[in-house]
Structure 1
Amino acid sequence: MLRSLAPILLLLHSALAAPIESATAAATIGKIRGVRDPIYHLYLQASPKNASIPVLGPESAADEFTIGGTIQSKKTSKYLNIATVSTSYKPLVWGATGETTAWGLEGDTIITVQGSSYGRQLNFLVCASTDTTGYYDLFLQMGSDTPSGRTCSNYQTIHLPITATMSYSRIGVVTGANKGIGLGAVRQLALQYPNSPLNNGPFLIYLTARDQGRGEAAVKSLEQDAQLKQAKALKADGGLSEIKFHLLDITSSSSIKGLADHLKQTHGDGIDFVINNAGIAMTGFDANVVKTTLDCNYYKTLEASHAFLPLLKPTGRLVNVASMSGKLNKYSEEVCNRFLASKTEDDVTSIMKDFAAAVETGKEKEAGFPSAAYAVSKAGLIGGTKALASAQKEKGSGVLINSCCPGYVYTDMTKHHATRGKTVDEGAQTPVLLAIHDIQGKTGGFWQNEKEIDWVE
């Protein structure tokens, strides 16, 4: 007969939310660990032999989790799901999407919430791993059965003692934010938010990047930033803003979906703005450079716009960061007029396809285009953003959608040029204006130096 061991106590470090009772409540962030036999000081993580299996294991492999209606690994961005099986014990598995949205807290105890397909459950089964000594598999326990041949402890509860509370009145996302204009935008958002018309309470900014290490390092740098410290802008210093990292590779559809799923499941009431800053500027010019540049700066940025748009509150903002190189003064009159006459994203996409086809034959200049992949991609983004804004306005949406040129900013993309240009914080002023300040309801515009400008000149 299996012996019933003392309850498993899981501690959450740096807890940041009130008790969670539904998928739309504020999320809690931290490490989950056990402190009772047989899992003394073991942490929730992926199995060393099968990354799809969640286990309790050594602290050296510990992960952090966002815990709300879903439970998501910060290390891998995968979600903790309950497998659909016929047995009364349901294996826990990692998945690319949060299929289980029933997680919650009752006091400090993890449960599946009332009204879910599991009912209100709080018992877990913990079984010694058959693969690796010192690791333990987890199951949601809905009956008295246990896996055959396994050494398990029955009817365990897991706990997340809450040490502090934080809910967010405003939530924003900045893509490509580990450096350059994106990093400057995150800093300026935190500095300017207290005096913005958007301010009605605590503010969460998601800093996203395609490299986890660089993204997390960027967050740490901002937490120690002298300007933010002096202004007492961040929560840790008594301010309103908090900055968190989330993985996003703008060139990956699955990564875009992963962030969108996280935002939907963690912030059920919606988010306030997205600044799409991620992009690339490649050296050289050929068909491959054009294909890669258009894919990132045009196609994937608009794909991300469509993914995030349904998550925005009715008065939300979408800001696509373009470039002064996206102005139409480098094109033939025919191509310029095509851009200006474009009413839909499909119209703009047809121009992008014609450019790529002309480059394939080496006749882009004869076709009325400059030999500049980055410039054409940003012209496409401006046109696509205008078309998206027009379509949303026709639907009666109150979301304000604009593109902007940050100006000539000294970044990794421009450092090979002789002109130094603006600082990243100066370049961030227009995107930040469009995200959190009063722009008098304007949508579909192209902005530079904090005002709407003519796209052609």
Structure 2
Amino acid sequence: MNAVAFPGRPSRRRAAAADPEPSQRIALVSGGNRGLGFEISRQLAAEGVTVLLGARRPLAGEKAARQLRREGGNVIAVPLDVTSTQCVGELAARIDGEYGRLDILINNAGAYFDVDNQASSVDLGLVRQALETNLLGAWQLTEAMLPLMQRHGYGRIVNVSSGCGAIDSDGSSCPAYRVSKAALNSHTRMLAAELAGSGILVNAVCPGWVATDMGGHGGRPVAEGAAGIVWAAMLPSRPALNGSFFRDRQRIDW
């Protein structure tokens, strides 16, 4: 993944702005056409937020957005492959041109839940792919969208993580997924420290084991997992909950 420059970056210490009304907020959800991302998009739209539903496959994204519009939400499908520098840059330019701002970024796109692998024998190609999507994809997307938040001194960045990415979590399975989420947690903390006091809050949320295509059957309802993520996306500026790891609105250990 090559670095890309995004013009017009303001100072990261710009004074915080007042919280906009939910109906004035623009949110981008990566991986929004199914599973957890789809439910996050639904719940944000129910709050009155305008949701840009990111999907790698435009037809699947438009189908999902149409369904949520039928439910009354203001949801627009946008093409988004978080591993593509060109796609991310084009989307940032589009959001800038059409809205001039971004208030909420949900880094939900994730993959490579390699439950049957072990750290001693996993294919390192798989590990690289997991890092490319789960860590570097979220990192690249955040860098591209951050100027749209800094311009107005307001933003909420939520990295969808996992408890298995906690440093003290037990278990040896899912090595590619586990390491990529641990790295995402570290990035969350660094960015939150850098942006402290700017009006932009950065947090990680574990949705728990949810019954999605990736999580499999037997997990909790998707709506329950999504609720904690939407809560973090709608946090008020006071108190400023920043640089924390949450599950079900409660702090958990990194």
User: TM-score, normalised on structure 1?
Assistant: 0.47
Residue 437 (structure 1) shift = 3.6
Q: Which has the higher strand share?
A: 1
Using the alignment, how far apart are the partners of 1:245 and 1:266 within structure 2? 14
Query: SS of the counterpart of 2:135?
Result: helix
* Counterpart among 315, 318, 327 of residue 166 in structure 2: 327
> Across the two proteins, how many residue pairs are aligned to each other?
223
Q: 1:181 aligns to what?
A: 36
Using the alignment, how far apart are the partners of 1:261 and 1:183 within structure 2? 24
**Counterpart residue type for residue 404 of structure 1:** V
Residue 216, structure 1, aligned to residue 62, structure 2: yes
Q: 1:257 aligns to what?
A: 89
* Counterpart among 199, 212, 220 of residue 422 in structure 1: 220
What root-mean-square deviation, in Å, do the aligned CA atoms of Structure 1 and Structure 2 show?
A: 2.0
**Counterpart residue type for residue 317 of structure 1:** R
Residue 273 (structure 1) shift = 0.7
Q: 1:412 aligns to what?
A: 213
Q: 1:96 aligns to what?
A: none
Q: 1:296 aligns to what?
A: 133
Show the 5 A alignment for 1:184-333. 184-191=39-46, 193=47, 203-224=49-70, 228=71, 234=72, 241-268=73-100, 270-283=101-114, 284=117, 285-312=122-149, 313-330=152-169
- By relative contact order (CA 8 Å, sep 6+), the higher-ranking structure is 2
Percent identity between matched residues is 36
User: TM-score, normalised on structure 2?
Assistant: 0.82
Using the alignment, how far apart are the partners of 2:222 and 2:92 within structure 1? 27
For the 8 Å contact 1:250–1:301, the answer to whether it is kept is yes
Pick the structure with greater CA Rg.
1
Query: SS of the counterpart of 1:390?
Result: helix
Residue 404 (structure 1) shift = 0.7
Query: SS of the counterpart of 1:271?
Result: coil
Structure 1 runs not aligned, ≥5 long = 1-167, 195-202, 229-233, 235-240, 332-364
Residue 371 (structure 1) shift = 6.3
Residue 330 (structure 1) shift = 4.1
* Counterpart among 382, 398, 402 of residue 185 in structure 2: 382
Show the 5 A alignment for 1:135-150. none
Query: SS of the counterpart of 1:314?
Result: coil
Structure 2 runs not aligned, ≥5 long = 1-22
Q: Which has the higher helix share?
A: 2
Q: 2:194 aligns to what?
A: 391
For the 8 Å contact 1:309–1:318, the answer to whether it is kept is no
Using the alignment, how far apart are the partners of 2:202 and 2:250 within structure 1? 14
For the 8 Å contact 2:39–2:226, the answer to whether it is kept is yes
Using the alignment, how far apart are the partners of 1:220 and 1:266 within structure 2? 20
